[in-house]
Chain A
Amino acid sequence: MDDQSVYSASKDTVGASDPLPAAVAATGPIAEPRTQPTNQEVSERIAHQDSSPQHSHHHLSAPLAPVRVAGGRLRDDVRAATIVWRRELIRFFRNRLRIFTSLAQPILFLFVLGTGLSSMVSASFAKGHSIDFRTFMFPGVVGMTVLFTAIFSAVSIVWDREFGFLREMLVAPVRRGALVAGKCLGGATVATLQAFIMLALAGLVHVPYSPVLMLTLVGETALTAFLLTAVGIVMAARISQVESFQVVMQFVVLPMFFLSGALFPLQGLPTWLASLTKIDPVSYAVDPMRRAVFEHVSAPAVLAHRFAAPMTWNGWVLPVGLELGLVAALGLVMLAFAVVQFSRQD
């Protein structure tokens, strides 16, 4: 084929002020209102524009050179996913207020609710056996930060749809999978970054800054963020209106948070609640974090047993590796599901 032929344009320089061809004979008034301004009006208009297009004339005289565009190669998809990911980061760092406000809730939980409950909880134990309840809550609150940030990032797709930007992405010559993957990794990165700020507060609630612990927590946080962003994207594919976001918060996100054992130990629960915690994917994300924290604090055995009781299935203690594997697998399933949903066409 010859790309060139299409672009072998005339070299005419066309002024921005070209008048309309006089459409009407001079015999009578003109039926169409002359909305097209005269040359002079146009030049005045242009002069008033904050950015003058006048210097554009010489560019227009030379037609744009054709460029090769994306062609369904893996490299193009990676490039597309990368820019979608970068957009999430740009938007995250540009909106400092959001970074700050999304810290308010976890901080209230950790330092207000946590401190309040701490005095009550320690009173219920014999002297000498004490633990800062906030230490217990810490992994849960980190999980909560990840949960809300990840869902919020993913559900921004609904806003993109509302404000049209989604269409700009959907019509691009790249696989939908690349777009969804970029969005998912972007949301996960943002949620992990937000969780960093919470992890920095570890020392205030007697969680040691041990490098091993911190690295473990960061890794687990990132995996959790990936799962939750994927869940959020699946939901976003279903939500057609921004107003429905409240429904999702009330009926999906808050239950996921409360049932995860982020705020209470998994042990000694009534059966109905115990079963619900077991079907909440967030439980399998918070539990490994809590186990990691308790490995690094010196809590009396009786308390550690009571508070850091691990997730069990029918009495069998799940290995941390299996829990993380479940989180990763579910994340991939959700991601695949999201790709399918965004590849559909009406």
Chain B
Amino acid sequence: MSEDGSIAIEVDDLHKSYGELEAVKGVSFEVRAGETFGFLGPNGAGKSTTISMLCTLIRPTSGKALVAGYDVVADQAEVRKRIGLVFQDTTLDDYLTAEENLRFHAELYGVPRADVNARLQVVMEMVGLWDRRSGLVRTFSGGMKRRLEIARGLLHSPRVLFLDEPTVGLDPQTRSHIWAYINQLRKSESITMFLTTHYMDEAEHCDRIAIIDDGKIVVMDTPEALKASVGKDRVEIRTDDTAAAIASLQERFGLQATVSEGAVTFYVARGEEFVPQLFANFDQPILSVAIFRPSLDDVFMTYTGRTIRDAEASLTERNASRPWMRAQRGRR
């Protein structure tokens, strides 16, 4: 067999165009077996399009991708046998029960008949739905449907599990619940996971993340390394005279400060060491100080020049002039 066990996903200069629109503009990356790799990017960045290419649902315009050692164009059947998928939008049959949905999947994937019952119980207990197995999916909450889909994705023991925005549209409580399951899975199954998200805090769960914006990978590393690469901490101070504080920061420390939400904000390396100096050398009373370690928001800002929310807002405008683009989503 061609897989050597160390690289689960290998992508080289993958492109996808829809007519004029280039949704994915040449991405390259590797995911090691057992790793949890995340695509972080705003709406329309090309995350789902990349996943669709990796799981053989759409054909790349150009470039090459291997999943579990098999080419996603030439060896589609081999790839399909080895992957599990949780799509961005639900793909359950609402009119079947939870168990029937899973049985359908087991039959389709040829899970040996003798194993089906036992496996069904294991994966359903894993996501806490065993007691609800005979409930119609129609009667399930969004979080329950998501968990059922995760269970289904695992039913045939895939090598690589793709999770496209596993928690989108769920309330924060349910999101963290889903993440608890995903984190358990990582540890108990040593499965390779490829997931996408546009929640910064969720990207923290990944071993490595790639920030993808407008069809391109902007930067790729561990969340810690990315935050460290930003280098500086954000410091916010409150004083009675904001203008004077800004002037004095410039004068005494050579720092460019701005005002955001009433606080004087500036960036400095090793904020916790800087603050004592600030107190010693500042000429007016400081009412409060806050130091922020760089967050993934700051990382996104540093590498793309805007916040992820700005990126989504501008996309909404772009798509407003192309309403059919959104209407096309989720087809196939």
Give Cα A111–Cα B219 distance, bound, in whole angstroms.
72
Q: Which residues in chain A, 69-121, are within 8 Å of chain B measured between CB atoms?
A: 69-72, 76, 79-80, 82-84, 87, 90-91, 94-95
Contacts of B33 in A (CB 8 A): 6
In the complex, per-residue mask of A51-65: 1 if CB is within 8 Å of any chain B CB, else 0: 111111001111111
Q: Are B126 and A27 in contact (CB under 8 A)?
A: no
Query: A80 contacts which of B108, B181, B200 (Cβ < 8 Å)?
Result: B108
Give Cα A178–Cα B114 distance, bound, in whole angstroms.
22
Query: A67 contacts which of B105, B115, B234 (Cβ < 8 Å)?
Result: B115
Give Cα A1–Cα B109 distance, bound, in whole angstroms.
20
Is there a chain A Cβ closer than 8 Å to B107's Cβ?
Answer: yes
Closest to A52 in B: B128
Q: Are A8 and B332 in contact (CB under 8 A)?
A: no
Contacts of B291 in A (CB 8 A): 27-29
Contacts of A51 in B (CB 8 A): 128-132, 144
Query: B176 contacts which of A2, A42, A161 (Cβ < 8 Å)?
Result: A42
Q: Which residues in chain A, 24-57, are within 8 Å of chain B measured between CB atoms?
A: 24-25, 27-33, 35-37, 41-42, 45-46, 49-56
Q: Are B292 and A29 in contact (CB under 8 A)?
A: yes
Give Cα A166–Cα B183 distance, bound, in whole angstroms.
29
Chain B nearest CB, measured from A176 CB (Å): 11
Is there a chain A Cβ closer than 8 Å to B3's Cβ?
Answer: yes
Knowing A94-B95, A165-B93 touch, does A64 contact B108 (C-beta < 8 A)? no
Is there a chain B Cβ closer than 8 Å to A333's Cβ?
Answer: no
Knowing A70-B110, A83-B108, A166-B332 touch, does A32 contact B295 (C-beta < 8 A)? yes
Query: B204 contacts which of A23, A46, A82 (Cβ < 8 Å)?
Result: A23
Is there a chain A Cβ closer than 8 Å to B220's Cβ?
Answer: no
Contacts of A167 in B (CB 8 A): 57, 87, 91, 332
Chain B nearest CB, measured from A247 CB (Å): 17
Contacts of B163 in A (CB 8 A): none
Contacts of B159 in A (CB 8 A): 6
Is there a chain A Cβ closer than 8 Å to B283's Cβ?
Answer: no
Contacts of B298 in A (CB 8 A): 31
Chain A nearest CB, measured from B143 CB (Å): 9
Contacts of A94 in B (CB 8 A): 95
Q: Contact residue range for chain B?
A: 35 or more
Q: Are B56 and A171 in contact (CB under 8 A)?
A: yes
Contacts of A18 in B (CB 8 A): 180, 183-184
Give Cα A77–Cα B56 distance, bound, in whole angstroms.
19
Chain A nearest CB, measured from B253 CB (Å): 18
Contacts of B83 in A (CB 8 A): 171
Q: Are B190 and A80 in contact (CB under 8 A)?
A: no
Give Cα A113–Cα B17 distance, bound, in whole angstroms.
55
Most chain B CB atoms below 10 A, which of A18, A51, A52, A82: A51
Chain A nearest CB, measured from B135 CB (Å): 9
Is there a chain B Cβ closer than 8 Å to A240's Cβ?
Answer: yes
Is there a chain B Cβ closer than 8 Å to A124's Cβ?
Answer: no
Contacts of B189 in A (CB 8 A): 7, 9, 63-64
Give Cα A72–Cα B75 distance, bound, in whole angstroms.
12
Query: A168 contacts which of B59, B105, B112, B176 (Cβ < 8 Å)?
Result: B105
Q: Are B93 and A31 in contact (CB under 8 A)?
A: no
Q: Are A67 and B107 in contact (CB under 8 A)?
A: no
Q: Are B57 and A169 in contact (CB under 8 A)?
A: no
Is there a chain A Cβ closer than 8 Å to B312's Cβ?
Answer: no
Contacts of A54 in B (CB 8 A): 128
Contacts of B172 in A (CB 8 A): 35
Chain B nearest CB, measured from A53 CB (Å): 3
Q: Are B119 and A64 in contact (CB under 8 A)?
A: yes
Contacts of B268 in A (CB 8 A): none
Q: Are A36 and B201 in contact (CB under 8 A)?
A: yes
Is there a chain A Cβ closer than 8 Å to B90's Cβ?
Answer: yes
Give Cα A314–Cα B63 distance, bound, in whole angstroms.
58
Is there a chain B Cβ closer than 8 Å to A10's Cβ?
Answer: yes
Give Cα A25–Cα B77 distance, bound, in whole angstroms.
48
Most chain B CB atoms below 10 A, which of A7, A30, A54, A70: A70
Query: B293 contacts which of A25, A36, A63 (Cβ < 8 Å)?
Result: A25
Is there a chain A Cβ closer than 8 Å to B330's Cβ?
Answer: yes
Chain A nearest CB, measured from B69 CB (Å): 9
Q: Are A14 and B290 in contact (CB under 8 A)?
A: no
Is there a chain A Cβ closer than 8 Å to B271's Cβ?
Answer: yes
Give Cα A240–Cα B127 distance, bound, in whole angstroms.
34
Give Cα A101–Cα B189 distance, bound, in whole angstroms.
49
Contacts of B173 in A (CB 8 A): 37, 41, 45
Give Cα A11–Cα B205 distance, bound, in whole angstroms.
20
Closest to B295 in A: A31
| Residues of A in contact with B (beta carbons under 8 Å apart) | 1-2, 5-10, 12, 14, 16-18, 20, 23-25, 27-33, 35-37, 41-42, 45-46, 49-56, 59-72, 76, 79-80, 82-84, 87, 90-91, 94-95, 160-161, 163-174, 240, 345-346
Extra contacts, 4 of them, besides A17-B180, A71-B110 (Cβ < 8 A), are: A6-B5, A6-B34, A32-B297, A346-B58
- Jot down 17 A-B pairs with beta carbons below 8 A, ordered by A: A1-B3, A6-B190, A7-B189, A20-B205, A31-B295, A35-B201, A36-B179, A45-B177, A60-B126, A60-B184, A67-B112, A68-B112, A72-B77, A87-B100, A161-B331, A163-B93, A171-B80
| Residues of B in contact with A (beta carbons under 8 Å apart) | 1, 3, 5, 33-34, 55-59, 77, 80-81, 83, 85, 87, 89-96, 100, 103-105, 107-112, 115, 119, 122-123, 125-132, 144, 154, 156-157, 159, 172-173, 175-177, 179-181, 183-185, 187-191, 200-201, 204-205, 233-234, 271-272, 289-298, 330-332
